Chains A and B, each alone.
Chain A
């Protein structure tokens, strides 16, 4: 027991001694660090030894103490004689756990051998190496060790500057990352470029094929095909053009104009210029000069090909319609001649009938005269049919001519009612006319419309019914209405009655005479007079046809 107590006392004494030494050492270190001392004495087994910081200048020491790099001085045994706070921070230890310790202790195991070799070599020449120190939170801290031997106080020490490379490494890492990203981006770009090139190549091929297909198609159809740029300047003709014109190549943008018939040029230029300016389709029937000098009729039609905003190009076709045009001309000529030829015997028949009627009337044979009056009415109907055919041809050819005059409207209505009434002996025509007005227009043709209304009223209503002919003045216009109490026109057919060749369809459709031209011609006459035409009708109850014209007074 006594011996144990003795030992404890010894231990306590020893601990106290060590504590005292530690405090002394810490004071010394602090003194050195703060520059208060330039030298200190260290006691060891060989007795006291004086360590001086001979070359140390306070300013430099403070500088070294404050710098962010770790600064360490080791002796030849590798014991750390000096360390600044930055190094202690780097190894995440208080300064007291650094000074006097072997430098190796702060080097992780994997780097230790190489650092030992480095330290060994550094006594002879300056050495540098990058290693990893175990940093805070076990996060390895990359550092650069710069080792340099220094002569201090006649002895040699090794100074080790430890530079924190974490920021640099991080920057490098970021740079590397950025470089990697850049490389990846470059790779993607390269890939996209390759894809784009491929697409362009494919599209070019497709375009080429498409162009070739277009050219193949265009060159093998019996129609002139051309294209023009956005400004309307022709830049392509197909083979048919060259075959037709006998030209071997395109000479100028005016090639097309040069082949136009002189009489068509002005209109063509006007229409084409307008189409190009507005970007609207172009259409015209005109003549093109053939290689042998013959002019043939063509129908030219051009459409603008647009991107979302503007016209990119024009595609035009010119179809040879000369044969059709000639056929139309022959048809027109035929109608013209046929109607003339029909009118000649009609004139004779009508003439003889009228002379006979005149003679019978003079002799007092009213029965014969009346019968001949009926024949005369039928002849008039035949004349009307012939004239209708001629009128339709004229409307279609734009040759329907009007001869304007200012005339008394009621006078015309009464005249027509009297004339048409003669043929409608079994109908009661009732005239209810408003105050008369002056109208400007083609008197005969307006009379033709009234006559057509009354004829139709008679044709489609039963015997012994009334037909009302009314006029009303509305503001600056005058309206004429013809009302019958006949079969009427079904609603679904009402919009078609003014179409060419229209005839009411239904059970008894074929029992009514007529070509279906009268109302078509009437509508055209009203259109040309800037008037309106229409009907109100109920099936089975009758119809009211009307037109409205502007007054001239």
Chain B
């Protein structure tokens, strides 16, 4: 992970309101935020890989679980922490099953949401060379 640079968070959710809310909440913190309502974009990262990915599970025709699996299989992206954000009541089980690094159930408290992200980005994680 690069240091001296703002941590970048990539958010994928098909609900534009929720995207905006998360973006607004994260603006209270020194993070760089990129959002998309089409999770397929997630594989278009060329150079600037995010430090954290927030992923909705059900996104109009796109399955967040499948995206997570692919991210974890890909050498370039497998070490990027992924947090599932969903209203699915089985979110905890799904997160475990698809090896996500955490989950946030909708609806969520702003305070909890921000602390979870702080924890995730502040935590020391084993980093393998990603070749960029």
Residues of A within 8 A of B (CB): 336, 339-340, 343-344, 346-348, 350-352, 354-355, 358, 379, 383, 387, 390, 394, 401, 403
Contacts and interface: CB of A to CB of B under 8 A. Distances in A.
A344 B105 CA distance: 11
Contact of B18 (A347, A358, A394): A347
Interface in B81-119: 87-90, 92-93, 106-110
A343 B106 contact: yes
A59 to B, nearest CB: 125
B21 interface: yes
B87 A343 contact: yes
Nearest to A346: B107
A347 B108 contact: yes
B17 interface: yes
A517 to B, nearest CB: 15
Nearest to B27: A355
B70 to A, nearest CB: 23
A343 B58 CA distance: 13
Nearest to A376: B109
B63 interface: no
A350 B28 contact: no
Contacts of A355: 21, 24-25, 110
B22 A351 contact: yes
A350 B15 CA distance: 14
Contact of A343 (B17, B22, B25, B107): B107
B107 A347 contact: yes
A378 to B, nearest CB: 12
B110 A390 contact: no
A500 B24 CA distance: 41
B58 to A, nearest CB: 7
A351 B18 contact: yes
Given A352-B21, A355-B21, A379 B107 contact: yes
Given A340-B87, A355-B110, A379-B107, A348 B15 contact: yes
Interface string B3-22: 00000000000010110011
A333 to B, nearest CB: 13
A344 B60 CA distance: 13
B12 to A, nearest CB: 15
A348 B56 CA distance: 14
Given A351-B25, A358-B28, 8 more contacts: A340-B89, A348-B17, A351-B17, A351-B108, A352-B17, A387-B89, A394-B89, A401-B92
A343 B25 CA distance: 19
